[in-house]
């Protein structure tokens, strides 16, 4: 079994028996002919402006929305941006592992308090492998990341409160449901289905119980 390279798509023609692969998107080339040096402060301001615009766009919804908050840098930035553009307190969701060095609830609580969010914590012990049977229909490919189990649990808890959850690119696996994945800042061309992104629309049938 082979996985497509990043930002590639493929189509199998069953009549001819061939498989065609193409690249649908790539990062723009870095600017090398800037008329003047760009300072780190300017780059930071541009990045923040893009993040604000991205989060504002994804919170433009007629369904309840929230943020997956781990307490790390990425999810904290998304929470800060959401709090800035929203007229209502943001709902944030964290999973806790009491007594474990991996527990991030303290850091998440600091961020939640700083931005006055409506914070929810799901404490768990050790996720059971029995979850795999329930989780398998939402995984599009083999995955060896054990964090998919607690992620599934926090997603199910989140679905009790909101329909759309914003997340950073890495801490939450967007393969949990097959619908409506969106990129955070600059979007690839439309017309194809992509995985990864900042916004996850959770299927009512999958997380509503």
CATH number of domain containing 139:
3.40.50.620
| Domain presence at residue 28 | no
- Amino acid 147: pLDDT: 78
Per-residue 3-state assignment (H helix, E strand, C coil) for the chain: CCCCCCCEEEEEECCCCEEEEEECCCCCCCCCCCCCCCCHHHHHHHHHHHHHHHHHHHCCCCCCEEEECCCCHHHHHHHHHHHHHCCCCCEEEEEECCCCCCCCHHHHHHHHHHCCCEEEEEECCCCCCCHHHHHHHHCCCCCCCCCHHHHHHHHHHHHCCCCEEECCCCCCCHHHCCCCEECCCCCCCCCCCCCCCCEEECCHHHHCC
> How many distinct structural domains can be found in the chain?
1
Please report which confidence band the pLDDT of residue 206 belongs to, taking 50, 70 and 90 as the band edges. very low
| Domain presence at residue 1 | no
- Amino acid 196: pLDDT: 34
- Amino acid 139: pLDDT: 82
- Amino acid 107: pLDDT: 93
Lowest-pLDDT range of 1-15, 39-53, 78-92, 121-135: 121-135
What residue numbers bound the domain in which 153 lies?
63-207
pLDDT in tens, 42-89: 889 999 999 999 999 988 888 899 999 988 899 999 999 999 999 999
| Domain presence at residue 37 | no
| Domain presence at residue 201 | yes
Please report which confidence band the pLDDT of residue 178 belongs to, taking 50, 70 and 90 as the band edges. very low
Please report which confidence band the pLDDT of residue 190 belongs to, taking 50, 70 and 90 as the band edges. very low
């Amino acid at each position: 079994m082979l996985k497509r390279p990043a930002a590639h798509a493929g189509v199998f023609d069953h009549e001819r028996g061939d498989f065609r692969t193409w690249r649908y998107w790539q990062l723009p080339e870095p600017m090398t002919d800037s008329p003047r040096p760009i300072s780190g402060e300017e780059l930071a301001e541009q990045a923040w402006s893009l993040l604000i615009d991205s989060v504002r766009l994804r919170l433009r919804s007629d369904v309840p929305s929230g943020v997956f908050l781990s307490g790390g840098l990425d999810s904290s930035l998304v929470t800060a941006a959401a709090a800035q553009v929203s007229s209502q307190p943001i709902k944030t969701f964290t999973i806790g592992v009491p007594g474990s060095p991996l527990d991030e609830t303290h850091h998440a609580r600091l961020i939640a308090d700083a931005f006055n969010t409506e914070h929810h914590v799901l404490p768990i012990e050790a996720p059971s492998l029995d979850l795999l049977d329930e989780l398998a229909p939402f995984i599009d490919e083999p995955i060896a990341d054990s964090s998919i189990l607690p992620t599934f649990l926090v997603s199910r808890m989140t679905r009790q409160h909101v329909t759309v959850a914003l997340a950073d690119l890495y801490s939450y696996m967007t393969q949990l449901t097959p619908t409506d994945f969106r990129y955070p800042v600059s979007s690839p061309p439309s017309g194809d289905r992509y995985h990864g992104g900042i916004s996850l629309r959770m299927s009512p049938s999958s997380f509503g119980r």
